Copies of this chain bind each other. A is one copy, B any other.
Amino acid sequence: MTRNFLQELLGILLAYVGKTFDRSSKVLDFHHPHQLKEGLEGFSLELPDQPENLEQILVDCRDTLKYGVKTGHPRFFNQLSSGLDVIGLAGEWLTSTANTNMFTFEISPVFILMEEIVLRKMQEKVGWAAEEGDGIFCPGGSMSNLYSLLLARYDRYPEVKTGGMAELPRLALFTSEHSHYSIRKAAAVLGIGTKNVFVVKCDERGKMIPDELESCIIRAKTSGCVPFYVNATAGTTVYGAFDPLHNIADICAKHNLWMHVDAAWGGGLLMSKRHRGKLQGIERASSVTWNPHKMMGVPLQCAALLIRKKGLLQECNQLKAEYLFQPDKQYDVSYDTGDKSIQCGRHVDIFKLWLMWKAKGSEGFSMQVNRCLENAEYLFNCLSKRADFELVCKSKVAPKIKAKMMEEGMVMIGYQPLKDKVNFFRCVFSNPATRKEDVDFLLDEITRLGCGL
């Protein structure tokens, strides 16, 4: 029965994968929340007291996919994470079948070692020496950024762990106006407070201006704060801009600040010889956020935090729970990495990345990343040739086009305003399935939908 059920499920999933890669299939079949809640064609979201039979369960599975969004579709440009890598998918299926947890070598011997090996490889790509480097896979880049702040604070003031912020001076940290909002969120969570996050101005390309950073640091000191941390971004969320890491590293060195690089989006470029130069200076960082589930196309979630200083992660977070981290085990307990985490149970996010790395090799990841950047270049060239695209002047145009796009469901792209700019489209290239024809399709669709307004 298990065999038949899972075999039938496989059929449903394979049909979905097939549709995902089929350009004539819609990206989504849009319905409003109330329509889905009312139950479309017998698809009820309500939970029963009595069991449903297996046949109905399979129908529920099919319907769940039917009303979802095909994030692996070649014309899904909406999010920084996209694509549907079949090897990665296989990795996730195996991971959920193994159904285990990352806290100890005892119950995850293979995955714990894979994590160590992959982290080491990523540290090499960052450019750290063999004797440096630690790290952990986190539930998303925002959590990685939170860890970086937590570690920087502990590194400077280890007494914060027991005594709390009450024993510290007023801290200040620095991040650019184009950086991800998770830095400010983490400052709120950690009890530092968002008003102690100094927002540094960017140039017109979205890069942090080093002189502005230095002015902010001096301003913070003058106002009685103690600067301790700078977040530089390698691949901003909207522009994809790379902050000048060497200049920022110089300033951090001068003022003795922790330098974090949020390369959640841009980290993938480290895999490419052709493009890794954009991250020059990252080897000087104290910590790095790098999400393989973004430009490297690894299924969600797969997000790493890398830390240059060995031992700090364990020291900062350990509480030595006796029921998990018994010191009198029969194996080398330095492999019980769970006390490095601020979680207890931690999802196994490593296997799919390890398996994809085996299947593609470093070379394969390099080619994949290069293709994303070729698509971006192609889009840029198309736009510069076309007369039907220009800077939109009314901020309501993009949302209206997006609404029609969602309802038709053939392509998906995000939009947002930014500073003095009105709503504009952000085209993300991380989906390995995307080809030039999809870029053409996107532009034609925007034109068509826009003309109909």
Contacts and interface: CB of A to CB of B under 8 A. Distances in A.
B166 A165 contact: yes
Contact of A68 (B98, B185, B300, B345): B98
Contacts of A187: 164
A271 to B, nearest CB: 11
Given A48-B361, A399-B328, A92 B98 contact: no
B188 A68 contact: no
Contacts of A324: 414
A127 interface: no
Interface residues of A, number: 155
B142 A345 contact: yes
Given A140-B345, A166-B170, 14 more contacts: A2-B17, A5-B86, A33-B332, A61-B355, A68-B111, A69-B106, A69-B108, A84-B99, A92-B96, A150-B189, A165-B165, A181-B319, A237-B323, A323-B418
B68 A415 contact: no
A121 B56 CA distance: 21
Given A99-B71, A345-B301, A45 B416 contact: no
A162 B194 contact: yes
B180 A192 contact: no
A61 B343 CA distance: 27
Interface in A318-355: 319, 321-324, 326, 328-332, 335, 342-348, 351, 354-355
**Assembly of this chain: how many copies?**
2
B99 A96 contact: no
A130 B52 CA distance: 26
22 contacts: A2-B14, A5-B86, A45-B113, A49-B363, A51-B361, A64-B351, A65-B94, A65-B98, A79-B107, A89-B97, A96-B96, A139-B346, A140-B344, A140-B347, A142-B345, A162-B195, A164-B192, A164-B196, A165-B192, A167-B193, A194-B319, A330-B403
Interface string A31-53: 11110110000000111111110
Interface in A185-213: 185-196
A300 B347 contact: yes
A79 B98 contact: no
A290 interface: no
B322 A417 contact: yes
A164 B185 contact: no
Interface in A1-23: 2-3, 5-7, 9-10, 12-14, 16-17
Contacts of A237: 323
A231 interface: no
A274 interface: no
Contacts of A142: 342-345
B181 A110 contact: no
A441 interface: no
A247 interface: no
A17 B99 CA distance: 11
A13 to B, nearest CB: 5
A7 B5 contact: no
Contact of A415 (B184, B196, B326, B330): B326
A344 B193 contact: no
Nearest to A46: B117
A87 interface: yes
A150 B396 CA distance: 37
Contacts of A54: 359
A282 interface: no
A177 interface: no
Contacts of A215: none
B33 A335 contact: yes
Nearest to A294: B345
The 6 closest A-B pairs by CB, nearest first: A164-B193, A191-B191, A92-B96, A330-B403, A165-B165, A165-B191
A112 B33 CA distance: 9
Contacts of A89: 6, 96-97, 99
